[in-house]
Structure 1
Amino acid sequence: MKGVQPREERTATGVLLMALAVVFFTCIDTSAKWLILAGLPPLQVVFTRYAGHLLYALVFYLPQEGVSALRSRSPKRQLLRSLFLMGSTILNFMALSYLPITVTTTIAFAGPIVVTLLAIPILGEQVGMRRIVAVCVGFSGVLVVTQPWGAQWHPAMFFSLGALVVASLYFIMTRMLAGVESNATQQIWSSALATAALLPFVIRGWVWPEGPHQWAVFAAIGFFGLTGHVLATTAHRLADASILAPLIYTQIFLAALAGILVFATWPTIWTLGGGAIIIASGLYIWHRERQVKGG
């Protein structure tokens, strides 16, 4: 689809696209973990994800839109969006250097709450108290899954909290640029900035993949990144950010499936119980939205 497309009120389609985006986001995380376990440096995996994203974006969009895909109609907002995406990745990486993944995951999954709350003053979206309560109930299910109550406080939690806020601002900026910037410009800018910024830190200690399987995953992670963010960007053009935000919770189940199929790890009873709470919350949000829309 060529050029800038206007915002539309197509909530059902937006929700479906965002759900598919979460599938590809899970593929990114699964590929990254697999590559790291295979011996590639973590920061190099982050760089590979963005560099591949940029390469695929250029190959896909330039033949359709030419150099116009590189020009931003709102460069300041586009720069902010790109910085938010890269910043959330860097902060999360710093937090993971000190904290258990259960703690960082729990904080990250509070994103829908932050997005919902930020969408009110920044985007002017109307969010009812019942939807806010439903999102909070969904987050309580995440707490059941990750069980962070045994973790001790560490200053690095500020990194994880920072990643949470910055990632939420990224999705807010994505909504603000919907109908202003083309998907091509958004994908190229965000991946190009991260690629350029990370290159000096990975070039000296570069490790090449070994064998066809590593090369295949190495090449695919960028494709997963581009596809996931194209879908997420399109979804935010079709539906309110506060409606799309809770869909990120479905990544818990996708991650559990990836754990079984790829890493041979099974979910615990806590994962299943917490998942039931999250599903109930998501169904209520759907029901409430249909009531509001008169569907």
Structure 2
Amino acid sequence: MKPPAPGAFAGMTYAVIAMACFAVLDTTNKFLIASVPLLMVLWFRYTFQAVATTAVMWPRRGLRMFHTASFKLQMLRGLLLLICSVLGFASLQRMPVAEFSAIAMLTPLAVTFLARFVMKEHVSRWRWLFVMGGLGGALLIVRPGGSMDTSAAWLPLTMVVAYASFQTLTSYMAKTESPVTMHIYTGWVGFAIASVLVLSAWTTDLTRTQWLLMCLIGFAGTLGHYLLIVAFSKAPAANVTPFLYSSIGFATLGGWWVFGDVPDRIAMVGMLLIALCGLGAGWLTQRENQKAQRV
């Protein structure tokens, strides 16, 4: 097995920092939406991303960063990510951060379903085994009598389906579209739709701390997505993907530190099973890529 290329270590580091940013995002979200309307937080998160990303990239690219050959697909991709955000925010209102993060990491496994039934790709038995194992881990987390409200389990699971669709579309568009352009469009599409939705929940009756926390959410989300783009540009996906599961550890730490939430033993087993199946799927992808290169 070949050792990772020098740039791969930078990619892995960026991926871990990105996961830490997302843990900060989710933990702060859960804390803030207990006192601030969900749609208000959602609007600010996309406003920050759209404005900050555009401000950073404008001196380098100007209007060229909006040039795209797939305008309709950019709109669809932005809508899918907004749906993921709404479902994610709603999930965090009803469940601990660690359990939410673990279920969210089912996404790479859900992509397998789309690859088989939508993209008509061949899926090996081992890959199906990892998918089934990941779903089993999710069932251990959302089981009746566990530490979360099982009536809300459909929220994160639906989010996983939406995010898997988002990732599949991203993979398809990445062949012709710039990552920066896609990032710009997700921000502005989310901002445009959230600006309409927020009208029913708009309020300026917020404390300075609440405004600062919304800035933290915007910053963490924007930085996390940017670092993830950089990570995949520095290293092959097979090297980066295993480090995405560090998000479960960061989320568990954040949930314990801020809310005192500690997953019970069965939920911990489920989280570990999801991580192991995800890592197994990543290892299988790397092995398949190595075989393809030898042919």
RMSD, aligned α-carbons: 3.7
Q: Residue 118 of structure 1 is aligned with which of 114, 121, 126?
A: 114
Q: CA 1:131/1:158 → structure 2, altered by over 3 Å: closer, same or farther?
A: closer
1:35 Cα deviation from its structure 2 partner: 1.6
Equivalent positions of 1:49-198 (< 5 A) are 49-91=45-87, 100-101=94-95, 105=100, 108-120=104-116, 127-148=123-144, 162-198=158-194
Equivalent positions of 1:13-24 (< 5 A) are 17-24=14-21
Matched residue, 1:218:
214
Structure-1 separation of matches of 2:203 and 2:120: 45
Q: CA 1:231/1:190 → structure 2, altered by over 3 Å: closer, same or farther?
A: same
Q: CA 1:128/1:277 → structure 2, altered by over 3 Å: closer, same or farther?
A: same
Which secondary structure does the structure 2 equivalent of 1:170 belong to?
helix
Matched residue, 2:32:
35
Q: Which moved more, 1:281-290 or 1:78-87?
A: 281-290
Structure-1 separation of matches of 2:160 and 2:137: 18
**Structure 2 unaligned residues grouped into runs of 5+:** 1-6
The answer to whether the 8 A contact 1:183-1:233 is kept is: yes
TM-score (norm: length of structure 1): 0.76
The answer to whether the 8 A contact 2:39-2:198 is kept is: yes
1:206 Cα deviation from its structure 2 partner: 1.4
Q: Residue 231 of structure 1 is aligned with which of 206, 227, 231?
A: 227
1:48 is matched by which residue type in structure 2? F
Structure-1 separation of matches of 2:129 and 2:269: 19
Which secondary structure does the structure 2 equivalent of 1:206 belong to?
coil
Structure-2 separation of matches of 1:51 and 1:31: 17
**Structure 1 unaligned residues grouped into runs of 5+:** 1-9
Aligned residues: 279
1:279 Cα deviation from its structure 2 partner: 4.0
Structure-1 separation of matches of 2:231 and 2:120: 18
1:63 Cα deviation from its structure 2 partner: 1.4
Structure-2 separation of matches of 1:16 and 1:248: 10
Q: CA 1:124/1:220 → structure 2, altered by over 3 Å: closer, same or farther?
A: farther
**Identity of paired residues, percent?**
27
